[in-house]
């Protein structure tokens, strides 16, 4: 009996040493990421939160103003101040671009999921435009949408349609940027949709076909419910990305014409880095963070009404 007890104790000690060794290895492996996250992400975020309550212009010490920066943003005298104008433009772009991008990416993914010859080549060709650097992409579309000698107006002239001012027309500036976004519709969003489509069981399509469902009924009753988690994921990423538009507006329009593309992130850039009002810029950034957090939580709350999880349904 004593021998058995001794063996058990030694086994427990050995197991404890192994667990301790694995824990040490775990912390060693995750340590560089934790240090990088604290130093490069969490630290700057907390410091920007501190600056949002201060008047700071980079040349003088921060001066505590409490909610002064937020009052300045929300209660500027003009009814369409720079903050409210940028927020309105960003919301309009989000409402317009996110559905267009998701629907176009889903259509491309469904086409690339079809069993056709050369499917791998088509997938590569559709994905390549999304690899174009954002600056090069913006410069390319400046030429395409040029109102005088651009390719878009050349196409319109060739089919007898009137030319458009595109980026120089306040009414067409946002639709022009949405059109430019379709250039990358076959990128990451389409790849995620393609992965979701490949996970739909084939027997569901066979059962629907036996029941007499046509292609539209199969899409509406089988495909969309089964990939609803993928749609939900892309919807969240799409809303977050649409609120962070900067490069295209900065390079192509600089917020114009007539502030038609004056996005919220562009306003943050001008306040923080042009006017050197870092406290005010930090306040706008945290307002943007709260807006994105609100819409993300709202989507999670609404997801229970339309997102279908097969694993949960099987329980």
Whether the pLDDT of residue 315 is over 80: the answer is no
Contact 277, 284 (CB under 8 A): no
CA atoms within 13 Å, Cβ hemisphere of 43: 7
**Does 6 have pLDDT greater than 60?**
no
Tell me the whole-structure pTM to 2 decimals.
0.88
Q: According to the model, what pLDDT value does residue 86 have?
A: 94
pLDDT reading at 2 higher than 80: no
pLDDT in the model for residue 70: 94
Distance CA 251, CA 84 (A): 22
| pLDDT confidence of residue 5 | 54
- Give the mean model confidence (pLDDT) for residues 273-290: 95
Question: How many residues does the structure list for the chain?
Answer: 315
User: How many angstroms separate the CA atoms of 16 and 2, rounded?
Assistant: 21
Between CA 228 and CA 200 the distance in angstroms is 11
Look at residue 314 in the predicted model and tell me its pLDDT: 53
Q: Is 179 exposed, middle or buried, given 0-12, 13-18 or 19+ CB atoms closer than 10 A?
A: middle
12: pLDDT confidence band, cut at 50, 70 and 90?
A: low
pLDDT confidence of residue 295: 95
HEC-encoded secondary structure of the chain: CHHHHHHHHHHHHHHHHHHHHHHHHHHHHHHHHHHHHHHHHHHHHHHHHHHCCEECCCCCCCEECCCHHHHHHHCCCCCCCHHHHHHHHHHHHHHHHHHHHHHHHHHHHHHHCCCCCCHHHHHHHHHHHHHCCHHHHHHHHHHHCCCCCCHHHHHHHHCCCCCCCHHHCCCCHHHHHHHHHHHHCCCHHHHHHHHHHHCCCHHHHHHHHHCCCCHHHHHHHHHHHHCHHHHHHHHHHHHHHHCCCCHHHHHHHCCCCCCCCCCHHHHHHHHHHHCCCHHHHHHHHHHHHHHHHHHHHHHHHHHHHHCCCHHHHCC
Domain limits, the chain: 2-51, 71-313
C-alpha 69/C-alpha 280 separation (Å) is: 5
Counting residues of the chain whose pLDDT is more than 90, the rounded percentage is 71
CA–CA dist 188, 281 (Å, integer): 30
pLDDT of residue 138: 93
Kindly report, residue by residue over 22-33, the tens digit of the pLDDT.
888 888 999 999
Confidence of residue 115 (pLDDT cuts 50, 70, 90): confident
Residue 5 Cα to chain centre, angstroms: 59
Q: What is the mean pLDDT of residues 237-251?
A: 94
Q: How confident is the model at residue 281 (pLDDT cuts 50, 70, 90)?
A: very high
Q: Give per-residue pLDDT as tens, 217-235.
A: 999 999 999 999 999 999 9
* 20 pLDDT above the threshold of 90: no
Phi and psi angles of residue 305, each rounded to the nearest 5 degrees, phi first: -90, -20
Residue where the block lists tokens 């060794």: 21
The answer on pLDDT for 310 being more than 80 is no
pLDDT digits (tens, 9 = 90+) for 187-201: 999 999 999 999 999
| Per-residue pLDDT at 81 | 85
Q: Which of 301, 275, 271, 274 is nearest to 286 (CA)?
A: 271
Write down the CATH superfamily of domain 71-313: MetI-like (1.10.3720.10)
pLDDT for the residue 184: 86
Average predicted confidence (pLDDT) for the chain: 89
Q: Indicate the range of 74-78, 86-90, 139-143, 285-289 predicted with least confidence.
A: 74-78
Q: Is the pLDDT of residue 13 over 90?
A: no
The model's confidence at residue 10, banded by pLDDT at 50, 70 and 90, is low
Confidence of residue 3 (pLDDT cuts 50, 70, 90): low
* Residue 164 pLDDT exceeds 60: yes
Q: Is the pLDDT of residue 4 over 90?
A: no
CA 9, 13, 16, 22: dihedral to nearest 10 degrees?
-140
Q: Is residue 311's pLDDT more than 70?
A: no
């Amino acid at each position: 009996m004593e021998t058995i007890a001794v063996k058990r104790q030694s086994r427990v000690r050995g197991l404890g040493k192994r667990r301790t060794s694995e824990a040490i290895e775990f912390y060693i492996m995750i340590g560089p990421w934790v240090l990088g996250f604290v130093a490069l992400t969490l630290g700057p975020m907390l410091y920007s939160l501190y600056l949002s309550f201060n008047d700071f212009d980079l040349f003088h010490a921060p001066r505590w103003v409490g909610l002064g920066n937020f009052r300045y943003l929300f209660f500027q005298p003009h009814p369409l101040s720079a903050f409210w104008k940028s927020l309105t433009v960003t919301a309009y772009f989000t409402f317009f671009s996110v559905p267009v991008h998701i629907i176009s990416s889903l259509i491309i993914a469904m086409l690339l999921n079809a069993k056709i010859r050369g499917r791998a080549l088509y997938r590569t060709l559709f994905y390549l435009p999304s690899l174009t650097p954002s600056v090069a992409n913006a410069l390319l579309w400046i030429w395409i949408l040029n109102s005088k000698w651009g390719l878009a107006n050349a196409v319109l002239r060739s089919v007898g349609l009137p030319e458009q001012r595109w980026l120089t027309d306040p009414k067409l500036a946002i639709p022009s940027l949405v059109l430019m976004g379709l250039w990358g519709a076959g990128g990451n969003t389409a790849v995620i949709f393609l992965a979701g489509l490949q996970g739909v069981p084939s027997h569901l399509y066979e059962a629907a076909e036996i029941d007499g469902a046509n292609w539209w009924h199969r899409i509406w009753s089988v495909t969309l419910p089964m990939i609803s988690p993928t749609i939900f994921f892309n919807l969240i990423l799409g809303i977050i990305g649409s609120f962070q538009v900067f490069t295209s507006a900065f390079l192509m329009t600089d917020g114009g014409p007539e502030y038609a593309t004056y996005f919220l992130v562009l306003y943050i850039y001008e306040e923080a880095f042009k006017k050197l009002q870092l406290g005010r810029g930090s306040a706008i950034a945290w307002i943007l963070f709260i807006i994105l957090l609100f819409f993300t939580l709202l989507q999670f709350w609404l997801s229970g009404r339309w997102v279908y999880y097969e694993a949960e349904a099987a329980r």
